[in-house]
C-alpha cells in the first residue's frame, strides 16, 4: 500500500504550475482588496466634490435671502401703490377745499380793496398774506404735482438755511454768538420784522 509519488522533473510543467499559482494568488489579492479600492475611489470623489457643494449651497441660501427681501420690498411697494390709489378721493377733496379757500381769499381781498384804507401797516398777517399766491394744478398728473411740491419745499428749505446761515455768520453788534439763545432770539426777531 505504499505508493510512491513520482516526481516529475519537467521544467515546463513546473513553470506552468508556478504561473497558474501566481495568477490565482493575484486574483485572490485583487478580490480581497476590491472593496477597499472602491471605498478609496468614493472617498477621493467626495473630498473633491464636497467643498464645491458646500459653496453652492451657501450661494443658494444667500440668493434665497436676497429674493425673500426683494419679495418683501415688492409687496410693500404694491401696498403703497394701492394706498395711493385709495387716496384719490381724499386728494380730490383737498383740491376742492383749496379751491374754496382761494375763492374765499379772493372775495376777502375784493371786499378789503373796496373799503377805504385806514392804516397801511395794520398787521403782519395782512402784509404777509397779500404776497402769497397759490396756483392749484389739476390732479390728473399726480407725479407732476408731487415733483413741483417737492421742488417748492426744497427751495423754501434752502432759502431758510441760507437766511439762518447769514444771520448766524453776521450777528449784529452787541449780541454774542457763542450760545444758541441769542442766535434764536435774533432769528425770531428778523422773522417777525
Average pLDDT, the chain: 76
Q: At which residue does the C-alpha cell 446761515 appear?
A: 165
Q: What is the pLDDT of residues 150-160, one digit of tens each?
A: 788 888 878 87
**Does residue 128 carry a pLDDT above 70?**
no
pTM of the model as a whole? 0.33
**Does residue 76 carry a pLDDT above 60?**
yes
pLDDT for 1: 46
pLDDT for 180: 42
Residue 73 pLDDT level (bands cut at 50, 70, 90): very high
**Does residue 188 carry a pLDDT above 70?**
no
What is the mean predicted confidence (pLDDT) over 104-132? 73
Q: What is the pLDDT of residues 93-115, one digit of tens each?
A: 999 999 999 999 999 998 888 88
Amino acid at each position: 500500500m505504499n505508493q510512491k509519488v513520482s516526481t516529475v522533473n519537467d521544467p515546463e510543467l513546473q513553470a506552468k504550475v508556478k504561473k497558474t499559482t501566481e495568477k490565482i494568488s493575484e486574483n485572490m489579492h485583487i478580490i480581497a482588496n476590491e472593496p477597499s479600492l472602491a471605498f478609496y475611489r468614493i472617498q477621493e470623489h467626495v473630498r473633491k466634490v464636497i467643498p464645491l457643494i458646500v459653496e453652492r449651497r451657501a450661494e443658494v441660501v444667500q440668493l434665497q435671502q436676497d429674493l425673500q427681501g426683494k419679495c418683501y420690498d415688492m409687496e410693500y411697494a404694491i401696498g403703497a401703490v394701492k394706498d395711493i390709489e385709495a387716496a384719490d378721493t381724499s386728494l380730490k377733496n383737498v383740491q376742492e377745499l383749496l379751491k374754496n379757500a382761494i375763492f374765499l381769499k379772493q372775495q376777502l381781498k375784493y371786499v378789503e380793496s373796496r373799503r377805504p384804507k385806514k392804516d397801511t401797516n395794520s398787521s403782519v398777517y395782512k402784509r404777509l398774506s397779500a404776497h402769497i399766491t397759490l396756483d392749484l394744478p389739476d390732479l390728473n398728473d399726480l407725479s407732476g404735482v408731487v415733483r413741483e411740491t417737492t421742488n417748492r419745499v426744497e427751495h423754501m428749505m434752502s432759502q431758510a438755511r441760507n437766511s439762518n446761515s447769514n444771520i448766524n455768520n453776521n450777528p449784529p453788534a452787541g449780541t454774542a454768538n457763542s450760545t444758541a439763545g441769542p442766535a434764536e432770539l435774533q432769528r425770531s426777531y428778523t422773522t417777525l420784522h
